[in-house]
Chain A
Amino acid sequence: MFGNFDFDVIQRSWVYLFTTGMAFTLKLTVLAMAGGILLGTLLAVMRLSSIRMIPAAAATYVNVIRAIPLVLVIFWFYFLVPYIGAWIIGSDQPIKVGAFMSSLITFTMFEAAYYCEIMRAGIQSIPRGQISAGLALGMTNSQTMINIILPQAFRNMLPVLLTQSIILFQDVSLVYVLSITDFVGAASKVAQRDGRMVEMYIFVAVVYFLMSFGLSLLVRRREKNTTVTS
């Protein structure tokens, strides 16, 4: 079945695939994960806030983002970010945003909606008495949130956050729709240049499988160690 296949193409191109493609994918994954968790936590705190309008605004953002496809969100931000940038610096013309910056903003904003729901569940899993305890010790609301509630919520939710990050790692492949050279983009360029689609896409699938599966095994092992014993 593999008789007329030419797996040499992988040997010829793997340096390019990993140093250009996978480097982009990993950099984008890690930065979007950090940004997404920060923004997601902020959204979660907003959703649980008692100030009027704030929870509704945050909930609307989260629900709308979660209801539309990632590909559509990628298109939205790809075209919207130059205009928002122009609006911020007061320029007449849409500013130029690089491919990496544009996709980083997109994935941070998109994943924040998903991380928000995870962090919200994490915050709600902490007994209410802890807030009262913090306030009784003379801490302000934000001190209680930052020093007492959030660290525990984060620790409880770490396995879920990491699982979501593996999904993010896979989702990053969708920057392909903007013709960006991530891992899939690099592979498809080589595949089209050399006419070796079959070999390249099988290779891409195997690499993704090994990485995601390896990471999810690690997460499963960590899960046992991070649970806070009460």
Chain B
Amino acid sequence: MNYNWNWGIFWEQSPYGHGSGTYIDMLLHGLYWTLATSFSATVIALFLGVLIGTMRTMPNRWLRRLTNGYIEVFRNIPLLVQFFLWFFVVPELLPENSGTWLKTLPSAPFLTAVVCLGFFHSIRVAVMLSSGINSLSVGQKMAGYALGFTLPQTYRYVLLPMAFRVMLPPLGSECLNIIKNSAVALTIGLLELTASARAMSEFSFQIFEAFTAATIIYLFVNVTVLMLMRQLEKRVAVPGFIAGKSDANRNH
């Protein structure tokens, strides 16, 4: 193969405008934006997802239909098209003043990416939460009622705390999905990790070094998130239930 490897490239000066940055600085800067975007999007996805997911399990039939419609809309449009909708279409549909204000914001790509990913992943959180609630035995809800709880109280003190624990493992892999999908934000001009690696390959012509570095960073982030989630699962486990099963066995 006729390719000139140069692994020293990462410590060479990059022409990219961060003062005196090397290429590795450029990639780490990209990683910062990837993490910032993913984290903010996760917060939105959790908030919306819990809201929608709870509504989906309510006895009201119309609420259920409304949430199912919401889920189908966000599930059946490709993420890239959703990015374009949020970035190009939504500012035009707003009243003129706020539309122009949005378009001229310097951080528009970042904010758009956060909102878009937040909505896109909220449907998966919603599905996880509602199946988490449905996986609890009916007795739990009855017990709540029997103790004199109202419906909101039953959710707040009985159903949701258990459902959150049921949904923790799939939520961990959803966090990884958000990190992965944040790369699509490069299409609207967010300089996250993949975009930085792409820019590095264009400036330095060391294509494979740049992509190898980005791949390793993604793998490292993945492993870290998985380990953190496992720690969290252990900490919140209820003995005798689901993740707490092993603890219960140890006590015997």
Q: Which residues of A contact B (CB under 8 A)?
A: 1, 64, 67-72, 75-76, 79-80, 83, 86-87, 92-94, 170-171, 173-174, 176-177, 184, 188, 197-198, 201-202, 204-205, 208-209, 212-213, 216
Partner of B81, one of A68, A83, A93, A204: A204
Contact status of A201 and B215, CB under 8 A, knowing A208-B76, A216-B76: no
Q: Which residues of B contact A (CB under 8 A)?
A: 1-3, 72-73, 75-82, 84-85, 88-89, 92-93, 176, 179-184, 186-187, 194, 197-198, 201, 207-208, 211, 214-215, 218-219, 222
Closest residue of chain A to B90 (Cβ to Cβ) is: A198
Whether B218 lies near A72 (C-beta < 8 A) is yes
Contact status of A71 and B89, CB under 8 A, knowing A83-B1, A173-B78, A204-B81: no
Closest residue of chain B to A93 (Cβ to Cβ) is: B2
Contact status of A198 and B81, CB under 8 A, knowing A67-B219, A72-B211, A72-B218: no
Whether A170 lies near B208 (C-beta < 8 A) is no
Whether B2 lies near A170 (C-beta < 8 A) is no
Contact status of A201 and B84, CB under 8 A, knowing A68-B218, A71-B186, A94-B2: yes
Known: A69-B182, A70-B180, A86-B1. 10 other contacts (CB 8 A): A71-B183, A72-B197, A72-B215, A75-B197, A170-B76, A170-B79, A174-B184, A188-B84, A201-B85, A208-B77
Closest 4 CB pairs of A and B: A69-B183, A212-B76, A170-B78, A173-B78
Closest residue of chain A to B211 (Cβ to Cβ) is: A76
Whether B93 lies near A1 (C-beta < 8 A) is yes
B81: A residues at CB distance < 8 A: 173, 184, 201, 204-205, 208
Cα A79 to Cα B81 with chains together (Å):
25
A176: B residues at CB distance < 8 A: 80, 187
Q: List 27 A–B pairs whose Cβ atoms lie within 8 Å, in order of A's numbering.
A: A64-B219, A67-B176, A67-B180, A67-B222, A68-B214, A69-B218, A70-B180, A70-B183, A71-B194, A72-B197, A72-B214, A75-B201, A75-B211, A79-B201, A79-B211, A83-B3, A92-B2, A170-B78, A171-B78, A174-B184, A184-B84, A197-B84, A198-B88, A201-B88, A209-B73, A209-B76, A212-B77
A79: B residues at CB distance < 8 A: 201, 207-208, 211
Whether B89 lies near A198 (C-beta < 8 A) is yes
Closest residue of chain B to A202 (Cβ to Cβ) is: B89
Cα A34 to Cα B25 with chains together (Å):
41
B84: A residues at CB distance < 8 A: 184, 188, 197, 201, 204
A174: B residues at CB distance < 8 A: 78, 80, 184
Whether B187 lies near A205 (C-beta < 8 A) is no
A72: B residues at CB distance < 8 A: 183, 194, 197, 211, 214-215, 218
Whether A75 lies near B85 (C-beta < 8 A) is no
Closest residue of chain B to A210 (Cβ to Cβ) is: B76
A71: B residues at CB distance < 8 A: 183-184, 186, 194
Most buried by A among B176, B187, B198: B187
